[in-house]
């Protein structure tokens, strides 16, 4: 039975957050790896990463209002370099644990039993247990006046991935890389490919790739 | 075997788009329903919708540069009201076909064999075949100088969904609503729930919900 939900403004705060967080559909799930100038590492799950453009290769992401300490955001603004590490099923609980509030000198790597990995002389730590890891450089940020969330835009520098995940057309089979997805605040999902479809044109039948 | 990809800037344009579009992980997949002041309906797939905040209930989405006609974006700016309709497996080809370039007086509803549905006296059309449909009101937009993409921010007004998808804690089981996800430009995936996890706290073991 179909229901109309138009009273969510009256939900109590936690219920309202549960509800609205689910509406945007399935979300990207990455761990943001950062480091401050004292060498303190930070790792945090983020589900608001989105594609912004291919040339230049840009990603956007949203951070919650900077009214309480946001170590990842602060480290990105300070050091300009960070990593995004796709989460796979074998580290889903470790990734979720990284959302707990830790002090700045406590590394979420240690707290969640994940391994910081430094590669290619890059400043920020990668997550060893992730199969698809991206090195990024900060480009710009702005506070969105509408609700004080912070939009960060960053440039892709290089990527580590399993060789078998890179298709001939240079698209990436992220399912083969084990990447999972998240809905709402706490629900994790693996995926099953349905179909790849050819570029859509007017008056032309779609082909399955 | 793990490979390092740092030469994607040298990929030809189409390959580069394939590659970079996959890096942000699994994406939301919705159909944007709009109508212009002459009554012309438009329907377009969008994979760049993201959660922006629960109170007020806000969503953000990215449109490609407004250098060629963008009917959905123009209709949103003109009429201020639009719908987001989650895509499910039974309409994946119809949804993909809506990405073809049609003239403004050709309705993608007709071209893709989807049904425009008007409910609750809302201005913009919903997609009858979608199981989770959201009515939104435009709040603001800006052109991002970094690459001329357009960020639109909108407020959630009301939602239609299957009653069995609304959990007791007001989170939405979008998998039960049949919602699917997309990776890159053309690959569609269904999902399988792995686990729901309790709110993460320092020094407290996670519970499965």
pLDDT at A104 over 90: no
Q: Which CATH architecture has domain B9-189?
A: Roll (2.30)
Of B159, B127, B141, B158, nearest to B41 (Cα)?
B127
Contact in structure between B197 and A112 (CB atoms under 8 Å): no
Does pLDDT of B129 surpass 90?
yes
Chain B residues in contact with A120 by the CB 8 A cut-off are 4, 6
The answer to whether the Cβ–Cβ distance between A51 and B20 falls below 8 Å is yes
Residues 67-126 of chain A with CB under 8 A from chain B are 84, 86, 89, 92-93, 96-102, 111, 119-120
Q: Kindly report the average pLDDT of chain B as a whole number.
A: 96
Q: Are A137 and A151 in contact (CB under 8 A)?
A: no
**Residue B178, pLDDT above cutoff 80:** yes
Residue B13 is predicted with a pLDDT of: 96
**pLDDT, tens digit (0-9, with 9 covering 90-100), for B149-159:** 999 999 999 99
| Sign for the pseudo-dihedral over CA of A136, A141, A146, A149 | positive
CATH of A24-189, one of 2.30.110.10, 3.50.50.60, 3.30.70.1450, 3.40.720.10: 2.30.110.10
- CA distance linking residue B195 with residue B192, whole number of Å: 9
**Cβ atoms within 10 Å of B68's Cβ, excluding its own:** 7
Task: Decide if A59 contacts A46 (C-beta within 8 A).
Answer: no
pLDDT the model gives residue B69: 76
Residue B19: strand, helix, or coil: helix
Nearest chain B alpha carbon to A108: B202
CA distance linking residue B112 with residue B115, whole number of Å: 9
What residues contact residue B15 under an 8 Å CB cut-off, 6+ apart? A169, A170
CB A49 within 8 A of CB A156: no
pLDDT given at position B65: 86
How confident is the model at residue B140, as a pLDDT?
Answer: 98
Query: Which of A25, A112, A168, A185 has the highest number of chain B CBs within 10 A, making it the mutation to test binding with B?
Result: A25
3-class DSSP state for residue A44? Answer: strand
| pLDDT at position A1 | 94
Q: What is the DSSP code (8-state) at residue B206? A: -
Of B16, B178, B171, residue with least CA distance to A21:
B171
Give me the pLDDT at residue A70, please.
86
Over residues A4-29, the mean pLDDT reads: 98
User: In this structure, is the dihedral angle defined by the CA atoms of residues B114, B149, B156 and B194, taken in order, positive or negative?
Assistant: positive
Say how many residues make up chain B: 209
Give the pLDDT of residue B54.
97
Q: Name the 3-class secondary structure at A199.
A: coil
Distance from CA of B111 to the nearest CA of A (A): 9
Res A144 pLDDT > 80 = yes
Report d(CA A85, CA A116) in Å as an integer: 11
**Cβ contact A50–B27 (<8 Å):** yes
DSSP label at B9? G
Q: Which residues of A touch B27 (CB under 8 A)?
A: 25-26, 28, 50-51
Is B56 in contact with A198 (Cβ distance < 8 A)?
A: no
What pTM was computed for the model? 0.97
Mean pLDDT of chain A: 96
Residue with structure tokens 């939104």?
B136
| pLDDT tens sequence across B36-71 | 999 999 999 999 999 999 999 999 999 998 777 789
Instruction: List the end-to-end C-alpha distance of chain A, in Å, as a whole number.
Output: 36
Residues of chain A found within 8 Å of residue B47, distances taken between Cβ atoms = 51
The residues facing A42 across adjacent strands are A34
pLDDT-derived band at A40, boundaries 50, 70, 90:
very high
Q: Which of residues 7-66 of B touch A (CB under 8 A)?
A: 8-9, 11, 13-30, 47-60, 62
Q: What angle do CA B33, B39, B42 make, to 5 degrees?
A: 30
Please write the tens of the pLDDT for every residue from B68-120: 778 999 999 999 999 999 999 999 999 999 999 998 889 999 999 999 999 99
pLDDT of residue B194: 98
Cα separation, A79 vs A44, in Å, equals 16
Q: B interface mutation test: which of A6, A9, A12, A23 has the most B CBs within 10 A?
A: A23
Q: What is the mean pLDDT of residues A3-28?
A: 98
Q: What is the largest CA-CA distance in chain B?
A: 60
Of A19, A96, A197, the CB nearest to B96: A197
ipTM more than 0.85? yes
Cα dihedral sign for B2, A85, A54, B9? negative
Residues B175 and A37: their CA atoms lie apart, in Å, by 42
Q: How far is A38 from chain B (nearest CA, A)?
A: 23
Q: Give the number of other Cβ atoms within 10 Å of residue B6's Cβ.
A: 14
CA distance B14 to A63: 31
Percent of chain A predicted with pLDDT > 90: 95
Q: What is the mean pLDDT of residues B10-38?
A: 97
Please name the residue of chain A whose CA is at the shortest distance from the CA of residue B5.
A159
A181 touches chain B (CB under 8 A): yes
């Amino acid at each position: 039975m179909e229901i109309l939900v138009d009273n969510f403004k009256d939900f109590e705060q936690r219920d309202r957050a549960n509800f609205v967080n689910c509406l945007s559909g399935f979300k990207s799930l990455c761990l943001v790896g950062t480091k401050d100038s004292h060498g303190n590492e930070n790792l945090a799950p983020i589900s608001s990463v989105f594609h912004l453009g291919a040339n230049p290769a840009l990603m956007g992401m949203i951070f919650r209002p900077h009214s309480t300490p946001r170590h990842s955001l602060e480290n990105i603004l300070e050091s300009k370099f960070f990593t995004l590490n796709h989460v796979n099923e074998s580290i889903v609980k470790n990734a979720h644990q990284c959302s707990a509030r830790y002090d700045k000198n406590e590394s979420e790597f240690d707290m969640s039993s994940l391994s910081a990995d430094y590669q290619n002389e890059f400043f920020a730590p990668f997550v060893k247990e992730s199969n698809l890891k991206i090195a990024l450089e900060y480009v710009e940020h702005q506070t969105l006046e509408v609700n004080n969330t912070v939009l960060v835009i960053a440039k892709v520098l290089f990527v580590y991935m399993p060789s078998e995940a890179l298709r001939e057309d240079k698209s990436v089979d992220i399912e083969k890389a084990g990447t999972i997805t998240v809905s709402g605040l706490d629900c994790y999902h693996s995926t099953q490919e349905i179909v790849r479809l050819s570029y859509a044109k007017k008056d032309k039948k779609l082909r399955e790739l």
